Amino acid sequence: MTGPGRRSSTFTRLLRHGFTDPSAAERLLDGGELAAVRNDPVLLEALGRTADPDLALHGLVRLLEAQPGATARRELLDTVIAAMPLRDRLLGVLGASAALADHLARHPRDWEALVTYEPRDLHPGVEEFERGLAEADDPVSLRVAYRRCLLSIAARDVCGTTDVAETAAELADLATATLRAALALARAAAPDDAALCRLAVIAMGKCGGHELNYVSDVDVIFVGEAVEGADEGKALRAATKLASHMMRICSETTVEGSIWPVDANLRPEGRNGPLVRTLSSHLAYYQRWAKTWEFQALLKARPVAGDLGLGEEYVAAVGPMVWQAAERENFVADVQKMRRRVVENIPAAEVERELKLGPGGLRDVEFAVQLLQLVHGRADASLRSGTTLNALQALAAGGYVGRTDAVQLDDAYRFLRSMEHRIQLYRLRRTHLVPEDESDQRRLGRSLGLRSDPVGDLNREWKRHAAVVRRLHEKLFYRPLLDAVAQLAPGEARLSMVAARERLVALGYADPAAALRHLEALASGVSRKAAIQRTLLPVLLGWFADSADPDAGLLNFRKVSDALGKTPWYLRLLRDEGAAAENLARVLSAGRLAPDLLMRAPEAVALLGDGDGGRGGLEPRGRRALEQEILAAVGRADGAVQAVTAARGVRRRELFRTAAADIVGSYGTESQPAEADQGALVDLVGGAVSDLTAATLAGTLRAVVRAGWGDTLPTRFAIIGMGRFGGHELGYGSDADVVFVHEAREGVGEEEAARAAAAVVAEMRRLLQLPSADPPLLVDADLRPEGKSGPLVRTLKSYEAYYRRWSLVWESQALLRAEPVAGDEELAGRFMELVDPLRYPRGGLGEEAVREIRRLKARMESERLPRGSDPKLHTKLGPGGLSDVEWTVQLLQLRHGAEEPGLRTTRTRAALAAARDAGLLSEEDAATLDEAWVLATRVRNAVMLVRGRAGDTFPSDVRELGAVGRYLGYGPGRVGDMLDDYRRTARRARTVVDELFYGG
């Protein structure tokens, strides 16, 4: 068939086979040698499988036209039609590389290099490429032979015979063979120079790492030595001439193009240093002057040409320096800074298209892998590969990188390298920028097998892989554990029993024998768990030793690891995420409370690794969030006991969160110093524990009411926080001081309402103290009217009658810290309206009331201070302690609260600041009282954290006293300073109290 019908049919077929310019393709198919096979479905299908069918067809036509006669053209065409391997190879290259199509047009018989299909042709080595270059006797013929070899590599690449890693290795092998051939030409041109010296060529960078690009500088270092009997100076000059000539042969551009630039700027002193040095000169430089990046570069050093024996000597001599580089001061920070500098120097207009150097690019993978190698490779020789993907596989096998992370990083790196290869292959130009032109992106996408939507799929896959690389680079490259491992002494980075014993003794472990047993249990064996723990333990031992009880830290770590070691996320968390490992070490070795809370639910260790900023997921949760979680758990529970058990479980977890945040803030981490504002830590603990107690009471109230009365209690019921609870100043072991108030609902008798309210109180207190793995919550109602002699719960009217007729001054003082915490909000609000006139009396206090408060305070000091205790070190009742500061502040509130709104707060520090601002005490006196109150509170918190039980005085046990000191920021041997500082601070505060409270 001829005419428009046939043309329309052909046009449609060409479109279907991926041609973007079917009209031009028709013209090419209708003319010349291809006219006879224009309808051959085999040819069109083969063209349609290429990255760019239009480019492939145009290249084929040019190649046919360039053949030296009709016979040669017929031979090529018959081969293309009949020989499937050759057809796919040839057309694949023509559709992916305009530069190689140009080469074939200039050298039309080079297509025959693709005919052979022998086993050695699938994965040729250096020797095979050397044979391919053997006939080159001048620089021009060497370039032609190089392109011919490159043609075969590209054909295997685009047809999928080799993967991206194998292609990169073949390109490195071809570069090796080419350097040898170029050096041979240089030696042949200057035989006298060649006779004077030994010259070794050391490949660096991607060539050294066996992962070269299609177009890349080939980085080298030259090592020269005089032959026996020759003058060293003359020999080095001769070696320099040979090296320079070899570089020119590879780098100069002719009509055949250049091979690639040979870059020797990684040598000592860079371009300012001599091109060739002796081995001893190299070593002297690296020992005295080399920078961190130079050792990083040497990781890929590989002798490739010239005197290979001398090259091996060089690598053997510098190798130990490479693996000791991580011990240099600021090594990790230097490598990280260098990576940031590279990104900062990318032009802003190119950063989003930069495939190699930009964020999420190839260099992110390479730098992350190299940093991990250099830090961990000192002690683990399996990591010492110059090839990125091999090193990544070894890091995963050794447990230094999670398997999932390694697989994702491997996939991303392969995809990005494939993109880089195909971009460079098109014009054989050195570039790492993703093209902006849609036709270029289409060809690029199709070359990677993306055929349905080449442009869209390419960009989606590229962005996806770049995002993976960016995320994992940040995770692996900047994790704090790296710097800690780098700072270990040689031999300690991978724990052996001998090294462990020496380290334990040096670090001051009290029971090295027991510690060794723990280490053996944790680190022995060939499991992945043991491998990761061998990496973690040398660093953890140092962090444990920074506490007052390193033995307890190690024991607790073993317990946690025994409980969680088979949980996939646990060791991965410690190895990879932020300061999790250091946080855990601090928490496990700071005392009994936090480890005890953790052991009851080890999965809470996950809190140590979430988020950023050193404390991870340890920032306390607000009361609203806590109450929502507890109420939801209560709603799901079957019965009151199960409901309150769930509420207490949340409380235990959140107590751990708060204790861990307190410990980490007090000890600090390598990435975040200890908390400078000690008052902030006190407020954090007091607020978090108070909010948690309120939420627990709300959940317990809900559970009790639901179990006994369904949805509605016969009486409205509210809980008012008192004392430290109402003041948001609870400690870890504090009771919950409260008063209960109720009001009968309409139609309910007073007696029935009172019975229901009393039953609620009794059941709440019982359930919150049931023996359990969770710490009990003691509810103390002794601050109620009439104290222990009065009823546990009263109606609002009863409170009103009592306060109107019988209220004592101490009860007004106690009400200063009253605040609703749970139950009926409207009823609680009316209670607060009732008590406000009592705690903020209009006109202040009369002199008799002031004298009564002073008498009560003096009697409490004399009667309630425990026998045998040192009053000057008693944080609650001693001079300058909590009671002194709080009663002083509360006296100011009672006297001036009606006139000064700022004083109407339940919080001691806030009231103290308000009194200062109102001019009721000086700035200096306020600071003195605040410092004493914060210090006394921190001592009480420290005692609870260290001993696991509350106490108002410093511990008598030496180790426990040291642990309290460490929490307060005092290093080993400074317990005496701590006690002296406490006495001094309390003494200064007592002076202010005597003036303000007792009136001089």
pLDDT top residue among 669 and 89: 89
Residue 123 phi, psi (nearest 5): -140, 70
Residue 437, exposed/middle/buried by CB under 10 A (0-12, 13-18, 19+)?
A: exposed
Residue that the structure tokens 């097998």 belong to: 449
Residues 214, 216: Cα–Cα separation, whole Å: 6
Residue 71, exposed/middle/buried by CB under 10 A (0-12, 13-18, 19+)?
A: exposed
- CB-CB contact of 416 with 466 (8 Å): yes
Mean pLDDT computed over every residue of the chain: 89
- Joined together, the tokens standing for residue 751 give 């007696």
CA torsion sign for 818, 823, 829, 833 is negative
CA atoms within 13 A on the CB side of 537: 31
| pLDDT score of 372 | 87
- Joined together, the tokens standing for residue 557 give 């770590």
Q: How confident is the model over 733-743, as pLDDT tens digits?
A: 899 999 999 99
Residues 572, 26: Cα–Cα separation, whole Å: 59
Q: Work out the widest C-alpha separation in the chain, in whole angstroms.
A: 127
- Joined together, the tokens standing for residue 322 give 């490479």
Lowest mean pLDDT among 121-125, 182-186, 598-602: 121-125
First to last CA, the chain: 121
Residue 718 phi, psi (nearest 5): -140, 150
Residues 567, 882: Cα–Cα separation, whole Å: 45
Most confident of the ranges 436-450, 772-786, 857-871: 436-450
Lowest mean pLDDT among 451-455, 497-501, 995-999: 497-501
Q: Under 8 Å CB-to-CB from 846, ≥6 apart: which residues?
A: none
What is each CA distance from 912 to 352, 433, 918, 952, in whole angstroms?
A: 55, 63, 10, 22
Residues 663, 263: Cα–Cα separation, whole Å: 53
CA of residue 225 relative to chain centroid, distance = 47
Q: Count the neighbouring beta carbons within 10 Å of the beta carbon of residue 498.
A: 9
pLDDT at 502 > cutoff 70: no
Q: How confident is the model over 690-710, as pLDDT tens digits?
A: 999 999 999 999 999 999 998
What's the one-letter identity of residue 323?
W
Angle between helices 678-709 and 923-947 in degrees, nearest 10 = 60
pLDDT at 536 > cutoff 50: yes
Closest by CA position to 396, among listed 492, 299, 495, 532: 532
- CB-CB contact of 215 with 258 (8 Å): no
C-alpha torsion angle, residues 913, 915, 917, 922 (rounded to 10): -100
Residues 761, 962: Cα–Cα separation, whole Å: 41
| pLDDT score of 178 | 97
C-alpha torsion angle, residues 847, 851, 856, 862 (rounded to 10): 160
Q: How large is the average pLDDT for residues 455-474?
A: 92
CA of residue 332 relative to chain centroid, distance = 15
| Residue 290 DSSP one-character state | -
Determine what percent of the chain is predicted with pLDDT higher than 70.
94
Residue 71 phi, psi (nearest 5): -60, -45
Residue 43 phi, psi (nearest 5): -65, -45
Angle between helices 126-133 and 164-189 in degrees, nearest 10 = 50
- CB-CB contact of 659 with 945 (8 Å): yes
- CB-CB contact of 198 with 224 (8 Å): yes
Residue that the structure tokens 């390109």 belong to: 171
| pLDDT score of 108 | 95
Closest by CA position to 305, among listed 211, 167, 185: 185
Q: How confident is the model over 310-353, as pLDDT tens digits?
A: 999 999 999 999 998 888 888 888 888 888 888 888 888 888 89
pLDDT at 858 > cutoff 70: yes
Q: Under 8 Å CB-to-CB from 260, ≥6 apart: which residues?
A: 175, 215, 216, 217, 218, 250, 251, 430
- Joined together, the tokens standing for residue 15 give 């479109």
The CA radius of gyration of the chain, in Å to the nearest whole number, is 40
Q: How confident is the model over 919-975, as pLDDT tens digits?
A: 999 999 999 999 999 999 999 999 999 999 999 999 999 889 999 998 998 887 788
Buried b (16+ CB within 10 A) or exposed e, 633-671: bbeebeebeebbbbbbbbbbbbbbbbbbbbbbbbbbbee
| pLDDT score of 773 | 85
What is each CA distance from 138 to 159, 257, 593, in whole angstroms?
A: 32, 14, 80
| pLDDT score of 504 | 74
Closest by CA position to 200, among listed 314, 95, 320, 74: 314
Q: How large is the average pLDDT for residues 533-544?
A: 80
| pLDDT score of 669 | 58
* Residue 615: band (very low, low, confident or very high) from pLDDT cuts 50, 70, 90: very low
| pLDDT score of 524 | 75
Lowest mean pLDDT among 255-259, 267-271, 719-723, 848-852: 255-259
C-alpha torsion angle, residues 733, 865, 894, 728 (rounded to 10): -10
pLDDT at 5 > cutoff 60: no
- CB-CB contact of 208 with 370 (8 Å): no
Q: How large is the average pLDDT for residues 580-601?
A: 90
pLDDT top residue among 855 and 1000: 855
| pLDDT score of 483 | 61
Residues 425, 943: Cα–Cα separation, whole Å: 69
Closest by CA position to 47, among listed 79, 16, 5: 16
| Residue 826 DSSP one-character state | H
pLDDT top residue among 835 and 868: 835
What is each CA distance from 403 to 393, 468, 478, 841, in whole angstroms?
A: 9, 14, 19, 68
Residues 722, 741: Cα–Cα separation, whole Å: 13
Closest by CA position to 394, among listed 525, 520, 531: 531
What's the one-letter identity of residue 495?
L
Determine what percent of the chain is predicted with pLDDT higher than 90.
64
Residue that the structure tokens 């992106």 belong to: 441
Closest by CA position to 900, among listed 879, 920, 885: 920
Please count the residues of the chain. 1000
- Joined together, the tokens standing for residue 646 give 């769930």
Q: How confident is the model over 298-308, as pLDDT tens digits?
A: 999 999 999 99
722 torsion bin: left (phi>0), alpha (psi -120 to 50), beta (else): beta
Residues 508, 510: Cα–Cα separation, whole Å: 6
pLDDT at 119 > cutoff 70: no
| pLDDT score of 490 | 56
* Residue 230: band (very low, low, confident or very high) from pLDDT cuts 50, 70, 90: very high
pLDDT at 612 > cutoff 50: no
* Residue 116: band (very low, low, confident or very high) from pLDDT cuts 50, 70, 90: low
What is each CA distance from 197 to 186, 191, 203, 264, in whole angstroms?
A: 13, 11, 19, 19
pLDDT at 481 > cutoff 80: no
| pLDDT score of 543 | 82
- Joined together, the tokens standing for residue 223 give 């090592």
Lowest mean pLDDT among 106-110, 531-535, 749-753: 531-535
User: 3-state class of 222 per DSSP?
Assistant: strand
Residue 260, exposed/middle/buried by CB under 10 A (0-12, 13-18, 19+)?
A: buried
User: 3-state class of 880 per DSSP?
Assistant: coil
* Residue 641: band (very low, low, confident or very high) from pLDDT cuts 50, 70, 90: very high
| Residue 621 DSSP one-character state | P
pLDDT at 245 > cutoff 70: yes
- CB-CB contact of 828 with 741 (8 Å): yes
pLDDT at 431 > cutoff 50: yes
What's the one-letter identity of residue 809?
V
Element (H, E) at 990: helix 975-996
| pLDDT score of 376 | 83
| pLDDT score of 491 | 54
pLDDT at 115 > cutoff 80: no
